[in-house]
Amino acid sequence: MRINRWATKFGNYTPEQFASLKSDIEAQGLLDPIVLLNGALLDGRHRLQACEELGITPRFIEWEKLPKADRGDSPEGYVLAHNLEGRERSQSVKAIVISDPDVMRYYRRRAAERQGARTDLQEHGGHVTTMLKSREEAGALIGVSGPTVGRAMRIRKEAPEAVQDILDGKKTIGEVDREIRVKHNRGKSRKKLEERKEGRAKHQDDSREVAHWTEVIRHIVRA
């Protein structure tokens, strides 16, 4: 089955979480159908996996056929509402999800729509102001501070290999942030050491040159 990219914005279940989900489905059946968007999986990939492993035929429903009150303002809004807003996820997972470019664009659009026809966005930098408002709005909506979202954005830029570990709960934003700072400090220390080495080498070269010309002058005087 094709998977919509919005279905992959969140981390994988831990073995314990998946075992619990699988046990619930085995005991009660699939209570919530798996949601599709134009035939591609939009929400419920872990439920689908559990059904497949249990041999249970899953129920599917297209996003457009969901009750209006349930489907939200858009497919991406539906996914965020059901997987992020109101869900028991760590601060690190919430912040790293918000920092995803697609998710940030969604909240940026929401922030812009709430601003309506105001002109002060242009006066204060337009796009940048809207982006900051979307970051703060998204964070407030799901209980994460703007600065934490900012650190998550930096991690995506400077340590993208750590994003999946944060999504899967293997690392926290604080841990990765410290790793980045340690790496930066090591880089600075290495640069300073290289500069010192270059300085010593230059000093030695200068000393050799002075010694050479001192010896030349001494020979001239003796002559």
Closest Cα to residue 177, out of 157, 155, 156, 161?
Answer: 155
Q: Are strands 34-37 and 60-62 parallel, antiparallel or unpaired?
A: parallel
Q: What is the mean pLDDT of residues 125-152?
A: 68
The answer to whether residue 216 sits within a structural domain is: no
Residue 40 covered by a domain:
yes
17: Cα within 13 Å, side-chain hemisphere: 11
Q: Are strands 60-62 and 40-43 parallel, antiparallel or unpaired?
A: unpaired
Would the pLDDT of 77 be above 80? yes
Instruction: Give residue 84's pLDDT band: very low, low, confident or very high (50, 70, 90).
Output: confident
Average model confidence (pLDDT) across the chain: 82
The per-residue pLDDT for 192 is 65
Average pLDDT over residues 78-103: 86
* 6-40 per-position pLDDT tens digit: 999 988 888 999 999 999 999 999 999 999 999 99
In a domain? residue 2:
yes
Residue 166 forms part of a structural domain: no
Q: Is residue 105 part of a domain?
A: no
Return phi, psi of residue 43, to 5°: -150, 135
Mean of pLDDT values over 62-68: 95
Q: Quick one: average pLDDT of 43-70? A: 95
What predicted TM-score, i.e. pTM, was given to this entire model?
0.70
Q: Which of 16, 35, 164 lies closest to 97, judged by CA?
A: 164
Residue 124 has pLDDT above 50, yes or no: no
Region 43-59: mean pLDDT is 96
Residue 20, in any domain of the structure? yes
Q: Return the pLDDT at 4.
A: 97
Structural domain range at position 16: 1-83
pLDDT at 24: 96
- Would you state the pLDDT for residue 180? 93
Q: Is residue 115 domain-resident?
A: no
Question: Total domain count for the chain?
Answer: 1
Two structure tokens written together for 164: 């999946």
pLDDT in tens, 130-143: 555 666 666 666 67
Question: Does any domain span residue 25?
Answer: yes
